[in-house]
Structure 1
Amino acid sequence: MKLSNESYFSLNFIARKRANKEGELPITLRITMNGQRAEIYVNRTVRPDDWNAAKGQSKGKTKKDLELNRYLDTVRTKICEIHNRLVLRDEPINPDVLKRAFLGKLEKPKMLCEAFREVNVKVREQYERGDICKATVLRWERCEKYLSEFLMMKENVSDIPMKNLTSGMVDDFEHFLRVRKMCANNAAVKYIRYLKNVVRVGIANRATASKF
Structure 2
Amino acid sequence: MKPRVHERFLFHFTLHKKSRTKLDDWATIHLRVSVGPQRKEIRLQRRVRADDWIQAAGRVRRPGQEAYEINTYLDEMRHKLFTIHGKLVAKGKSYTAQDIVDRLFTTEKNERMLIVLFQEHNEGIRELVGREYSIGRYYQHNRTLKHLRKFKQKEFDEDDFPIKKVDLQFIQRFEHHLLVFRAGGRNTVSKYVTISKRSCE
Larger RCO (CA under 8 A, 6+ residues apart) = 2
Instruction: State which structure, 1 or 2, has the greater radius of gyration over its C-alpha atoms.
Output: 1
Q: Normalised by the size of structure 1, how large is the TM-score?
A: 0.47
Q: Normalised by the size of structure 2, how large is the TM-score?
A: 0.50
